[in-house]
Structure 1
Amino acid sequence: MSPGPDSLRRVSIPSSPFSRRSLLAAGGSGLLVPGLMRSGMPSITHGVQSGDVTSNTATIWTRADRTARMFVQVSPTGSFGADCRTYRGPLLTATSDFTGRLDVTGLPSAADVPYRVVLGEPDAHRPDGDSLEGFLRTAPTTGDHRRIRFLWSGDQAGQGWGRNPDLGGFPIYRSMAERDADFFLHSGDTIYADGVISGDVTLPDGRVYRNVVTEAKSHVAQTLDDFRGAFRYNLEDQAYRDFFARVPQVNQWDDHEVHNNWFPHEILDDDAYQEKRVDVLWMRGEQAWREYVPISSRRDGKVYSQFSFGPLLDVFVLDMRTYRDANPWGWAGGGVRPDGGILGTEQAQWLVEAMSASTARWKVVQADMPIGLVVPDAASNGIEAIAQGDPGVPRGREQQIAWILRELKNRGVRNHVWLTADVHYTAAHHYDPSRAAFTEFDDFWEFVSGPLHAGSFGPSELDATFGPEVVFQSVPPHANTSPLEGSQFFGEVEIDPDTEGLTVTLRDIAGAALWNRTLQPRG
């Protein structure tokens, strides 16, 4: 069984300055350096995380074993002595499953920032209890040209493939930790709320995939505590916790945070569920998601948002789940509801306006699902993603994407790159109007990578409406390939401050580069 949260090494805090890179080189166990814990005090159960970093702010997360006061300390040297700044955070209570987040302000830009989460008794006014350290890297300011490196992927603990002690849990996180990334874009399916992890599985080659099984993952998630238990299952992996303690996240969600291929107001036809109303499951699943990932209050309750990383990069995070039409709409063709499609009218307009206003050299769109791959929804005889499986003019949800691409072209928005996961293999797609039925757009790239730790599938059928071409893809040897057999993937983006070229590298479970391409900016 992989190490649980109680296995975190408890040692005294070092007094000498240190860098983030030196701790990365030392390995994960050197990253989580707790302070001394007094007997009977609240303790940290599932590590620390950071997310939604800007040039001077970040959101810090933790979970306690009981009601506790959360504090965050920031130290420019990592010594947490007289130089550290202390923020008094929220009260962690059963209402939020003892999780809590704190938006920390006044951070230095483009800096490695050591932080420490400290727990105290509920009425404490100073940090004097159990603690864990983490690191985050803040974004550069608009005038600061510097190298940017980030990772993306999605799809965690799906298709019954859970933490495997023979693999050391979730091994891809150790590979990603070695890349020294500024941040990680999580493309959704953070958990598989509808996926059961039930025990050992015999693979086609005769090997046995061993699963760590917990009560929370022995059935589909229906109650709020079921959803919370799925997040705790992931966080009980050491490599997973270590990675997220050192690399800030930018999170979006997709379907498996709730139920496979869900859409608003759906009534499930699924015998595994007593609660058939998707809107009820959605409410519970979203609450657990917001409790367990480090999302800033600055998002104002929305999943979609924009994040800026100096003059070279803006990231636009989409929500292709909350505002969508029912899946059968897309399959039937015709129009979309005025407030529907795949993004909803308000979000689609926000995306165009925000990208038009952006002065960043590169505009990365973090999308839940790919544009040109056909992803059917068998349960509704509909379409789950965007592509309709018809190579002609835009139909259904494709019409909203066509409007966005046309507007970006008309407004002179160049250098946009789309990143996604969802389909459980990795690929590079180039979209070109010279190959397309719809031609009112500038050519662009879409890169697919995943899963992080789930069954692998593919390839999916291409729809020619927007002229996609497969430039590269790596797919598994058979459907639902387990993590023990490989075919787990993440992607990496690096922007050179001198040439302003953007290099995409698609990597495997061990971090080996499978393919890369450098894109040069235009305009």
Structure 2
Amino acid sequence: MSDAPPFPKSRRKFLYDAALGTSAWIGAGQLAPVLAQQQGPAIVTSERLRPQVGSGVMSGDTTRDAAILWSRTDRPARMVVEYSPNENFKDARTLVGPVALARSDYTARVDLRGLPVAQRLHYRVRFQDLQHESAWSEPLVGSLLIPGGSARDICFAFSGDEAGQGWGIDESRGGFRVYETMRRFKPDFFIHSGDQIYADGPIQAEVKLDDGSLWRNLVTPAKSKVAETLDDYRGNFAYNLMDANKKRFMAEVPFLVQWDDHEVRNNWYPGQVIGAAEKRYQEREINLLVQRARQAMFEYNPFRIDRADPERVYRSFNYGPLLEVFMLDERSYRGVNSPNRQSKPGPDAAFLGAAQTQWIKQSLLRSRATWKLIASDMPISIIVRDLNPDVPQGNFEAWTNADDGKPAGRELELAQLLRFIKQHDIRNVVWVTADVHYASATYYTPEKAQFTDFKPFWEFVGGPLHAGTFGPGEIDHSFGPDVRYVSVPEGMKQNRSPADQLQFFGIGKIDAKTRALTMSLHDVDGKNLFGVELSPEA
């Protein structure tokens, strides 16, 4: 890396930076003197002194020549990262990372910059115990592809909805099987479209299935009740990292993550007060729960925190001339869930909010990538009603209001964005999402719409990764949806368990030569259920 200092920092400066969560660059293949007191491997006198790293290692927020590396240990310990373009770690560089402390639940991350584009980077993460400098964790090894360049194809995966409806990790049934299936596609990155956890969904040890057999969950104290404290939310994220399939996938595929509702509580919106009909919660102020949930989400993901706006979830990622990804946040700025029939834009009709709407417009306008991929945490035309027991019935949770008419309520924001894309001739925009617990492919065309001032586009729905299967949902026809594929039959029993193998994900592939984008939907075994090749608009 061209910006890495050639010599180690002083011990005092290193310890100061580590306490602040910053990192120290040192020479290729070497450990800083503060971390090693002798040549050769460190000596550990007792296994119990070793920091433990049971949550695995993960990369994410890859963009241009940068990536975040993440891991977690079980005690105060320094994170040390070695990385190299060579699998055998020849010519490796070493980065002495931050100290993992209790205040971040012993999670830690480093932000690697100036990386060689379009190359696979191999990395190794270790933790050194603060009290016993000879005590090191076992090394965790991973790799990631650095984005950029135009000479190679791009492959990505997308899905959402993980450990929902009480369906947790049953190791006898293979755990989170979809992660292993997606891994075999060797995607360059994975878009997690939200509902990473079900903070409002406790997990029981056993669930009786329709055939009389038992689904046997791994259980933890944090998953035995709805999440309310910071430690409860942390425990929900930690639970999902107990799955071997997910940890193997994480070590090979970078994550781009967003949130939806279950990271906090079903169908939440800012300022909500949980009503008396919901008996499970002692803390009833949503804003306080959101604060705790957001902190846990940032701690347990390879987020690159925006220093100007540390709570910001929406962001974009540049993958070179072929692709740019735009991650939306449809939770933090929305108005109250309502009948969604407002006649004019405003706070009550907000879904993205004014600032985020302006951001996505200008980001799309500036993008020079062939394909612009919008990752939305909720679908456009599938009707999602707010059925919580403590709210008035007749309210809506997503974009639509089920009237099949001219845009109203939150649909006004969407119409404004779609009109902007057409007016500025922004080409090759594709949407991906999850949330509804089945997969679908929909083509939107103005010829069939009540609102017609937009360019035709596709939307692909993935999920669930590992949760109850529902659907198919009702469709609002305001924006002319032509549903080309649905992964579940009409009249299906709802909340089908993962044992029924109705878990889904999507794959996108961009051909570097033709620039064509092929989008496909797959089941838990990887079977291709639907696919379409999209030629780029010149």
Distance (Å, rounded) in 2 between the aligned partners of 1:480 and 1:44: 34
* Counterparts of 1:466 and 1:290, CA distance in 2: 34
CA-to-aligned-CA distance 1:302-345 (integer Å, 9 cap, x gap): 111111111110100000000000101x5343334258611000
| Deviation (angstroms), 1:43 | 2.6
- Which residue pairs with 2:29 in the alignment? none
CA contact (8 A) 2:333 2:351 kept: yes
Task: Give 4+ residue runs of structure 1 displaced > 6 Å after superposition.
Answer: 123-127
The answer to whether the aligner puts 1:385 opposite 2:398 as a matched pair is: yes
Q: Output the CA distance in 2 between the equivalents of 1:145 and 1:75.
A: 21
Task: Kindly indicate whether residue 185 of structure 2 is the aligned counterpart of residue 176 of structure 1.
Answer: no
Cα deviation per residue 1:96-135 (whole Å; 9 max; x = unaligned)? 1100111012211111110011111338999965321111
Query: 1:259, 1:336 → 2: CA distance?
Result: 26
- Match of 1:422? 435
TM-score for both structures, normalised by structure 1: 0.90
The answer to whether the 8 Å contact 2:335/2:347 transfers is no
Q: Structure 1 vs Structure 2: percent identity of aligned residues?
A: 46
**What is residue 433 of structure 1 aligned with on the other side?**
446
- Structure 2: distance between partners of 1:282 and 1:95: 18
Q: Is residue 36–residue 130 contact of structure 1 (8 Å, CA) maintained in 2? A: no
User: Is it true that 1:314 corresponds to 2:324 in the alignment?
Assistant: yes
Which amino acid counterpart does residue 98 of structure 1 have in structure 2?
Answer: Y
CA separation of 1:332 and 1:308: change in aligned 2, threshold 3 A? same
- 2:408 aligned with 1:398: no
Verify: 1:150 aligned to 2:156, yes or no.
yes
* CA spacing shift, 1:36–1:402, aligned 2, 3 Å: farther
Which residue number corresponds to residue 410 of structure 1?
423
Say yes or no: does 1:344 pair with 2:353.
Answer: yes
- SS of residue paired to 1:288: helix
Name which of 47, 56, 68 aligns with 1:59. Answer: 68
Instruction: Pick one of 362, 373, 390 that aligns with 1:364.
Output: 373
The residue that corresponds to 2:146 in the other structure is 138
Distance verdict in 2 for CA 1:398–1:165, change over 3 Å: same
1:223-238 aligned at under 5 Å gives the runs 223-238=229-244
Correspondence 1:215 to 2:221: yes
- 1:498 has 2:513 as partner: yes
**In 1, are the aligned partners of 2:42 and 2:134 still within 8 Å (CA)?**
no
Whole-Å separation in 2 of the counterparts to 1:470 and 1:127: 57
Determine the C-alpha separation between the residues in 1 that align with 2:480 and 2:486. Answer: 17
Instruction: Indicate the residue corresponding to 1:92 in structure 2.
Output: 100
Q: CA deviation at 1:512?
A: 1.1
In 2, Cα distance between equivalents of 1:76 and 1:205: 50
Q: Residues 37 and 428 from structure 1, CA distance in 2 versus in 1: closer, same or farther, beyond 3 angstroms?
A: farther
Change (3 A) 1:124 1:407: farther
How far residue 421 of structure 1 moved from its aligned partner, in angstroms, is: 0.2
Kindly tell me: are residues 147 and 385 of structure 1, through their superposed partners in 2, closer, same or farther at Cα, counting changes over 3 Å? same
Residue 523 of structure 2 corresponds to 508
Which segments of 5 or more consecutive residues in structure 2 lack a partner in the other structure? 1-40
One-letter code aligned to 1:352: K
Alignment of 1:38-117 (within 5 A): 38=44, 39=46, 40-81=49-90, 83-117=91-125
Amino acid at match of 1:440: D
Partner of residue 447, structure 1? 460
CA RMSD of aligned residues (A): 1.8
* Structure 2 counterpart SS, 1:70: strand
Distance 1:339 1:352, change over 3 A: farther
Distance change >3 Å, CA 124–CA 400, structure 1 → 2: farther
Q: CA offset at residue 366 of structure 1?
A: 0.2
Give, in whole Å, the separation in 2 of the partners of 1:173 and 1:57.
24
- In 2, are the aligned partners of 1:183 and 1:247 still within 8 Å (CA)? yes
Counterpart Cα distance in 2 of 1:140 and 1:124: 41
Residue pair 2:148, 2:320 contacting (<8 A) in 1 also:
yes
Indicate conservation of the 8 Å contact 2:336/2:348, yes or no: no
Deviation by residue 1:240-293 (Cα, 9 ceiling, x = unmatched): 111011100101001000000000000012110000000011000111000001
Q: What are the equivalent positions in structure 2 for 1:202-351 lying under 5 Å apart?
A: 202-269=208-275, 270-298=278-306, 300-301=309-310, 302-328=312-338, 330-338=339-347, 341-351=350-360
Deviations 1:481-504 (A, max 9, x none): 000011100000000111111001
Distance 1:212 1:76 in 2: 37
Gaps of 5+ in 1: 1-34
Q: Residues 59 and 67 of structure 2 are in contact (CA less than 8 Å); yes or no, is this contact kept in structure 1? A: yes
Q: Distance in 2 between matches of 1:333 and 1:457?
A: 29
Q: Distance in 2 between matches of 1:305 and 1:340?
A: 22
Q: Residue type matched to 2:115 in 1? A: L
Change (3 A) 1:394 1:95: same
**Equivalent residue number for residue 160 of structure 1:** 166
Q: Distance in 1 between matches of 2:136 and 2:470?
A: 49
CA contact (8 A) 1:489 1:507 kept: yes
- Cα pair 2:85 2:119 within 8 Å, conserved: no
Aligned equivalents of 1:338, 1:266: Cα separation in 2: 14
Q: Would the alpha carbon gap of residues 159 and 36 (structure 1) be closer, same or farther in structure 2, given more than 3 Å must change?
A: farther
Q: Deviations over 1:449-496 (max 9, x none)?
A: 100000010011111110001101111631000000111000000001
Counterparts of 2:136 and 2:285, CA distance in 1: 45
Q: Is the alpha carbon distance of 1:375 and 1:37 closer, same or farther for their aligned partners in structure 2, counting shifts above 3 Å? A: farther
If the length of structure 2 is used for normalisation, what is the TM-score?
A: 0.87
Q: Note closer, same or farther for the CA distance 1:125–1:88 as it changes in structure 2 (3 Å cut).
A: farther
CA gap 1:78/1:37 in 2 versus in 1, 3 angstroms: farther
1:399 is paired with a residue whose SS is helix
**Aligned to 1:161, what secondary structure does the other structure show?**
coil
Q: Which residue of 1 aligns with 2:17?
A: none
Q: Deviations over 1:196-219 (max 9, x none)?
A: 111222222333222222211111
Amino acid at match of 2:479: F
CA distance in 2: counterparts of 1:126 and 1:499, whole angstroms: 54
- Determine which structure has the larger helix proportion and give its number: 1
AA of the residue aligned to 1:311: P
Residue 206 and residue 440 in structure 1: after superposition, are their counterparts in 2 closer, same or farther (change >3 A)? Answer: same
Q: Which amino acid aligns with 1:442?
A: K
Q: Is the partner of 1:465 in helix, strand or coil?
A: coil
Contact 2:75–2:129, Cα closer than 8 Å, also in 1: no
Rate the CA distance shift 1:36–1:194 in 2: closer, same or farther, 3 A. Answer: farther
Instruction: State how far apart, in whole Å, the 1-side matches of 2:43 and 2:186 are.
Output: 30
| 1:186 corresponds to | 192
How far does the alpha carbon of each residue in 1:133-165 deviate from its partner, in whole angstroms, 9 at most, with x for none?
111111013xx2320000000000000100012
Q: What is the CA distance between 1:72 and its match in structure 2?
A: 1.2
Three-state SS of the structure 1 residue aligned to 2:58 is strand
- SS of the aligned residue for 1:297 comes to coil
Counterpart-to-counterpart distance in 1, 2:343 and 2:366:
32
Question: Across the two proteins, how many residue pairs are aligned to each other?
Answer: 485
Say which SS state the counterpart of residue 358 (structure 2) adopts.
Answer: helix
